[in-house]
Structure formats: structure tokens, C-alpha cells
Amino acid sequence: WLRTQQPALLHAHYASGYGTTAMLAGFHPMLLSVWGSDVYDFPYESRLKGWLLRRNLRAADALASTSQAMAQQVRRLWPQVGDITLTPFGVDMERFAPAPVPQGPGTIGTVKTLAPKYGIDTLLRAFASIASQVQAQLLVVGDGPQRTELQDLATTLGIAERVQWAGAVPHEMVFGAALAAEIGGIGVGCDICDTASVLAALDAARAAHGTARILMNIAGIGSAKRIVGRDGSPAPLEDF
């Protein structure tokens, strides 16, 4: 395909797998973008993988990284590397447009997998260092293998009451989670036509804030029936 189409540029993402493919293709010019595990994990899994990763980096005509930290990691792997272009992730400016500064306590937030490589522990320590000087809360959106450890760290640092753990949130709900945090709540998404989805959302809300009283005004339902039984249990959503 490369021989017949002769593109102006070959852009390979991930310096490990696809970087290897691009290196073996021998096509130039070739831009190689690093993404994370390809430079943080892959080269340390074996000497062979480390050698291969460095070879892929050297084969590229230009390198790009989505963060300064990853660019520094590339320099650790290949000290002789030249320029590395920073290409930060884009932002939906309509959904995440700057808003007026809210009155009262603000929110500092992060959306990331709770794993060691992402430095959430560093964020917690940084927040703890300024907690006594600012009126703010910390919102952590995401889940992962380090969640319990990070929650224990927040307790040790004395900031547990000012940290909200929203858990894994679908992309379309991230903005909702941020808005909810402004009023001391959490954002949860669900399919209102699916009982399991609704119950999971309610369980998440109850775990964060205790049992809730919910007022519902429902019109246009398919059948006349009690929404809640005498024992307090809800009728199956599928019935409506």
C-alpha cells in the first residue's frame, strides 16, 4: 500500500507494536508518536524489547509526545534524541468552555485511571500541602487497581473528607460529574429503561451520600400501576 499510494507522511502511533511495523516498512518521512505504556512499560519487560523500542525511535524522522513527562521518558531511553514535538490532547471547547469562577469552594479535578504510572498519589500530596490554605475539594474521576491504596493515602494525609471518588464515568458524563462536584454531589449515568443500570446508579449515589429520597412525577406511562410496592420495593421498569 505504501509503495502504490506514496503518502506524504507515515504517522505511527505507539512506539512498540505499530512503531515496529513502521520501522520494518522503511518508509520515510515517518512520524512516531509515543503514548504511554510503549515507553513506560514495554522497554523494561526484557532486554530485547528495550533494544527494539530504541531502534524504532531511531528509525523515525520525527517524534511526538502528548505530554512533557513522556518526552522526558523518551530522553531517558534515548539520551541522544533531538527535538520531541508536544501534541497535547484536544479539548471540546463547546462542552468544556471556560465558565465564570463559582462563588464559594472550588474544585480541583482529574480524570484518569487509578494506576501508579499516572501519579494520582502526587496529586493527593500536592492537594494536602495546600488544603489548609484554600477552600477547595478534590474530585477524582476514574477507577483502577490503585483505588484502595489512594483512598488510604488520602486518609493518612488528612484530606479524606475533601476528596470525592466518582469512580469510572463514561466520557459523556465527565462534564456532569464536574458540575455535580460543584454542589457536593456525584455524577452518575444510567439507562432509565434498564433496571440493572438504574439500580447501579442508585447504589453509587447511596454509597457516596447515603440513602436518598427521590420525588418522581411520571406522566404518559404505558400502564396504570403502583410504582413502589407497600414494602418499598420498586416495580420493575420493564412493566412500564
Over 80: is that where the pLDDT of 77 sits? yes
Report the pLDDT value the prediction gives residue 178, as an integer from 0 to 100: 64
Q: How far apart are CA 176 and CA 187, in angstroms?
A: 5
Over 70: is that where the pLDDT of 135 sits? yes
Q: Bridge-partner residues for 23, per DSSP?
A: none
SS3 at position 167: strand
Over 60: is that where the pLDDT of 220 sits? no
Grid cell, residue 26, equals 522503511
3-class SS shares of the chain: helix, strand, coil, % to 5: 40, 15, 45
Q: How far apart are CA 117 and CA 240, in angstroms?
A: 46
What strand order describes the sheet that includes 62-65? Answer: 10-13, 30-34, 62-65, 84-86
> Which of 223 and 186 is assigned the larger pLDDT?
186
Q: How far apart are CA 51 and CA 20, in angstroms?
A: 11
CA of residue 128 relative to chain centroid, distance: 22
Q: How far apart are CA 43 and CA 60, in angstroms?
A: 17
Report the pLDDT value the prediction gives residue 25, as an integer from 0 to 100: 92
Over 90: is that where the pLDDT of 129 sits? yes
CA of residue 37 relative to chain centroid, distance: 15
pLDDT band at 137 (very low <50, low <70, confident <90, very high): confident
Report the pLDDT value the prediction gives residue 45, as an integer from 0 to 100: 94
How long, in residues, is the chain?
A: 240
Supply the mean pLDDT for the chain.
83
Phi, psi (5° rounding) for residue 30? -130, 125
Report the pLDDT value the prediction gives residue 21, as an integer from 0 to 100: 94
Report the pLDDT value the prediction gives residue 70, as an integer from 0 to 100: 93
Report the pLDDT value the prediction gives residue 214, as an integer from 0 to 100: 63
- Pick the closest to residue 54 from 88, 20, 8, 9 (CA basis): 20
30-43 mean pLDDT: 93
> Which of 77 and 197 is assigned the larger pLDDT?
77
Look up residue 6 and give its amino acid. Answer: Q
Look up the pTM and report it.
0.60
Report the pLDDT value the prediction gives residue 27, as an integer from 0 to 100: 92
Report the pLDDT value the prediction gives residue 42, as an integer from 0 to 100: 93
Report the pLDDT value the prediction gives residue 228, as an integer from 0 to 100: 62
SS3 at position 35: coil
78-89 mean pLDDT: 92
